[in-house]
Amino acid sequence: METKKRLKIAFLSFYSGIIERGVETLIPEIAERLGKNHEVVVYQSGPGYGKNYKIVQIPTSWKPDTLQEPLNLRRRLFLDKSSLAVMEFMRKILPTLKKEKFDVVVPWNNGWQTILCRFNNVGRVVSIGQSGLGWDDRVNLWLFPDYFVGFTKSQCEWANRVNPLVKTVTIPNGVDTIRFTPQGKKAKINLAAPIILCVAALVPLKRQKLAIKAVSLLKKGSLVLVGKGEMKDELQKMGDQLLPGRFKIFESAYKDIDKVYRMANVFTFPTSHWESFGLVLLEAMASGLPVVANDDPIRREIVGGGSGLFVNPEHAQEYAQALQKALATDWGVKPREQASKFSWDEIAKKYEQLFLKIV
């Protein structure tokens, strides 16, 4: 039996331990599984714990006062506040990356991470399409990483158009179907059923305003937004005006988010079409919820044909009708069956196969 080479793998994740978003929750899932057979080190700014991998904390004074920087010239040049904090993070760890001679380095936050990795000979660089169809991942592709990982086939097709000389592979996000189930404790919410849920950062990209407008057209039902971000006050004001007594915003620690899904009847995700994935869709479906999502190729690839409905959320009446239909339909086990296709074990194997292939 052939013995696999033991790899040295570095994950660079500036925001881990500070923010709990998609990438910050998926890295531990992959690192724990890869760490069983390989040496995995995660460099991050916040505290954390890894059973099968090592965490190196690089403290920062950066505070998450905004979760989505506007795409102005400063942002495009990676000179905004968050990007400069990432650059300082890289300045501190770059000597170590050179010294350790990692086989594979994965700069999860793009920008200065990818730039400095590519020009400092730190090992094979695998770029992850975490940012979605836009500027950051265009820069990633123009930097000629050793491989570009797209979360969906649609994203890889886009990447091939941006730079056909870069090799791409599709590896989706995953979900823990043991933790996210319909059965178990539920979060308590003092709102009238049915509950329509949206879990996402409160930033313009996620377009929660469209969900508020659509739910306001329904005769019954409450909308719950779970997340944090700079649009909280604006969304709260709009929800109070259009959905009096039928609306709530709150934050939830990721360790409790499975209980939040169980309190809902339908999950909705009106995000922009360029968003790279939507891990919350998998978590919702694993929890047994049908979803009403933006009608774009990426969301269709994730949700499939029998686990929810697709709509242009900008058309409020159509969006409202889709929510009503989702509430009235008996979806059975279809959402959970779709989510089960995205096993973390299988996804970690795909990363392992990729890393072994390129070294």
Contact 12, 113 (CB under 8 A): yes
- Rounded mean pLDDT, 61-67: 73
For 207, half-sphere exposure in the C-beta direction (CA atoms, 13 angstrom radius) is 19
Omega before 107 cis (within 30°)? no
Look at residue 1 in the predicted model and tell me its pLDDT: 34
CA dihedral 154, 160, 162, 166 (to 10 degrees): 130
* SS3 letters across 126-163: EEECCCCCCHHHHHHHHCCCCEEEECCHHHHHHHHHHC
Q: Looking up tokens 């009238």, which residue turns up?
A: 192
- Rounded mean pLDDT, 162-185: 95
Share of the chain above pLDDT 70, in %: 98
**Which of 295, 303, 313, 255 has its CA nearest to residue 278?**
303
CA–CA dist 245, 308 (Å, integer): 27
Note the pLDDT tens digit of each residue in 193-233.
999 999 999 999 999 999 999 999 999 999 999 999 889 99
Look at residue 63 in the predicted model and tell me its pLDDT: 79
> In this structure, which topology does domain 195-339 adopt according to CATH?
Rossmann fold (3.40.50)
Burial class (CB in 10 A: 0-12, 13-18, 19+), 150: buried
CA–CA dist 261, 179 (Å, integer): 11
Q: What is the mean pLDDT of the chain?
A: 93
Note the pLDDT tens digit of each residue in 10-36.
999 999 988 877 788 889 999 999 999
CA–CA dist 342, 77 (Å, integer): 35
Structure tokens that stand for 292 in this block: 């009403």
- Bridge partners for 231 per DSSP: none
Does the model's pTM come out above 0.85?
yes
Q: How much helix, strand and coil, in percent to the nearest 5, is found in the chain?
A: 40, 15, 45
Note the pLDDT tens digit of each residue in 114-143.
999 999 989 999 999 887 778 889 999 999
- Rounded mean pLDDT, 258-274: 94
Residue 3 has pLDDT above 70, yes or no: no
Residue 64 has pLDDT above 90, yes or no: no
Contact 14, 86 (CB under 8 A): yes
> In this structure, which topology does domain 8-174+343-358 adopt according to CATH?
Rossmann fold (3.40.50)
Is residue 70 very low, low, confident or very high in pLDDT (cuts 50, 70, 90)?
confident
- Rounded mean pLDDT, 147-173: 95
Look at residue 165 in the predicted model and tell me its pLDDT: 98
Where in the chain is CATH 3.40.50.2000? Answer: 8-174+343-358, 195-339
Note the pLDDT tens digit of each residue in 299-356.
999 998 889 999 999 999 999 999 999 999 999 999 999 999 999 999 999 999 999 9
Q: Looking up tokens 């930097």, which residue turns up?
A: 143
CA–CA dist 134, 223 (Å, integer): 30
